[in-house]
Structure 1
Amino acid sequence: MSIEVISILVLFISFFALLLLKVPVAYSIGISTTLSLLLNIDRLPGITTIAQRMITGIDSFALLAIPFFVLAGEIMKRGGIANRLINFAKSIVASLPGGLAYVNVLASMLFGAISGSAIAATSAIGSIMTDRMEEEGYPRSFSASVNITSSTTGLLIPPSNILIVYALASGGSASVAALFIAGYVPGILLGLALMGYIAYVAIKKDFLKGERAPLRDIWNYFKKAFFSLLLLVVVVGGIVMGIFTATEASVIAVLYAAVLALAYKNISVKDFPDVLLASAKTTAVVMFLICTSMAMSWLFSFESIPALMSDFLLNQFSNPFVIFFIINIILLIVGTFMDITPAVLIFTPIFLPVVMELGMDPVHFGIVMVLNLCIGLCTPPVGTILFVGSGVANISVSEVIKPLIPFLVIMIIVLMMVCYIPEISMFLPRLFDL
Structure 2
Amino acid sequence: MELTGIILVVAFFVLLLLNVPISISIGVATLLAMVMSMDIAPATITIAQRMAGGLNSFALLAIPFFVLSGLIMGRGGIAKRLIECAMALIGALPGGLALVNVVSCMLFGAISGSAVATTSAIGSFMLPEMKKAGYEPNFSAAVTAAASTTGMLIPPSNILIVYAIASGGVSIAALFMAGYIPGIMVGLALMLVCFIYAKMKGYPLSPRLPIKVVVEKTIAALPSLFLIFLVIGGIVGGVFTATEAGAIAVVYSLLLAVVFYKEVDAKALPDIFLKAAETTAIVMLLIAASTAMSWLLSFENIPQTLSNAMLSISDNPLLILLLINLLLIVVGAFLDMTPAVLIFTPIFLPVALELGMSELQFGIMLVLNLSIGLCSPPVGAVLFITCAIAKTKLENIIRPLIPLYVAMFVVLMLVTYVAWFSEALPRALGF
Q: Normalised by the size of structure 1, how large is the TM-score?
A: 0.98
1:316 Cα offset (Å)? 2.2
Superposition deviation, residue 212 in structure 1: 1.1
Quote how far apart the aligned CAs of 1:220 are. Answer: 0.5
Kindly provide the CA deviation profile for residues 226-274 of structure 1, in whole angstroms up to 9, marking residues without a partner as x: 0100000000111011110000000000000000001211112111100
Q: Which amino acid in the other structure matches residue 421 of structure 2? A: I
Which residue does the alignment assign to 1:348? 345
Q: 1:239 aligns with which of 235, 239, 256?
A: 235
2:276 is aligned to: 279
**Deviating more after overlay: 13-22 vs 176-185:** 13-22
Deviates more, 1:65-74 or 1:373-382: 373-382
Secondary structure at the aligned position of 1:183 is classed as helix
The whole-number CA distance in structure 2 between the counterparts of 1:270 and 1:83 is: 21
Task: Give ranges in structure 1 of 5+ residues lacking alignment.
Answer: none
Letter in 1 for 2:247: V
Larger displacement relative to structure 2 (308-317 or 252-261): 308-317
Structure 2 partner of 1:261: 257
Q: Residue 234 of structure 1 aligns to which amino acid in structure 2?
A: L
Q: How does 1:62-73 map to 2 (within 5 A)?
A: 62-73=59-70
1:365 corresponds in structure 2 to 362
1:386 & 1:425 partners in 2: Cα distance?
27
Out of 404-413 and 81-90, give the one that drifted further.
404-413
Equivalent position SS for 1:158: coil
Corresponding position: 1:183 with 2:183: no
- Check if 1:227 corresponds to 2:230: no
Q: 1:54 aligns with which of 39, 51, 56?
A: 51
Q: Partners of 1:337 and 1:214 in 2: how far apart? A: 47
Q: Residue in 1 aligned with 2:286?
A: 289
- For residue 319 of structure 1, what is the aligned residue in structure 2? 316
Using the TM superposition, give the Cα deviation of residue 315 of structure 1 relative to its aligned residue in structure 2, in angstroms.
Answer: 2.1
- The aligned counterpart of 1:6 is 3
How far apart in 1 are the matches of 2:383 and 2:219?
Answer: 33
Question: What RMSD over aligned residues (CA atoms) do the two structures have, in Å?
Answer: 0.8
Question: Which residue of the partner structure matches residue 419 of structure 1?
Answer: 416
Q: Distance in 2 between matches of 1:217 and 1:109?
A: 22
Give the structure 1 partner of residue 16 of structure 2: 19
String of CA shifts for 1:328-365, please: whole Å, max 9, x gaps: 01100101110111100100010111111121000110
1:166 equivalent to 2:163? Answer: yes
Deviations 1:155-193 (A, max 9, x none): 100000000000010011x21101100100001000000
1:151 aligned to 2:148? yes
Partner of 1:92: 89
Matched positions, count = 430
What's 2:25 paired with?
A: 28
User: Corresponding residue for 1:200?
Assistant: 196
Query: 2 CA distance for matches of 1:355 and 1:106?
Result: 32
TM-score by length of 2: 0.99
Q: CA deviation at 1:102?
A: 0.5
CA distance in 1, matches of 2:379, 2:410: 22
Aligned residues with identical type, % of pairs: 54
